[in-house]
Amino acid sequence: MAVKKRRSGLGTLIHGVGFLLAVLLVMHIVFVVTGFPTENGLAQSVAQAAEPLALFFPGLVQTQSEILQVFVDYGLAAGFWVLLCAVLARVFG
C-alpha cells in the first residue's frame, strides 16, 4: 500500500508563494493581451509587481509579435517560479 505523505507547514507556504507569484505574472499577461487600460490602478500595480518577478526572461527569446513576446517572457517566468517553489517545498517540506 502507498503511504500518503503530509506536507509540512513550510512546504505548503512555499507552494502558496509560488502560486501567488505565478498568478501575478499571468494576470499581467491577461491585462496586456486584453488591452486592459494601463491607467487603471490595478493594472499598474500588477505590471510593477510582474516586472521584477520576470527576472531575466524578458528578451530571452525574441518573437515577431508583441503579444506573443509578453506570453513567452512572462509565461516562462511564471513556470520558473512554480517549478522553483515546488522544488523548494519538496526540499523543505
Residue percentage of the chain with pLDDT more than 70: 92
pTM to 2 decimals? 0.84
CB contact at 8 A, 56 and 78: no
Model confidence over 16-57: pLDDT tens digits? 999 999 999 999 999 999 988 888 888 899 999 999 999 888
Alpha carbon distance 3, 11 (integer Å): 18
Mean pLDDT of the chain: 88
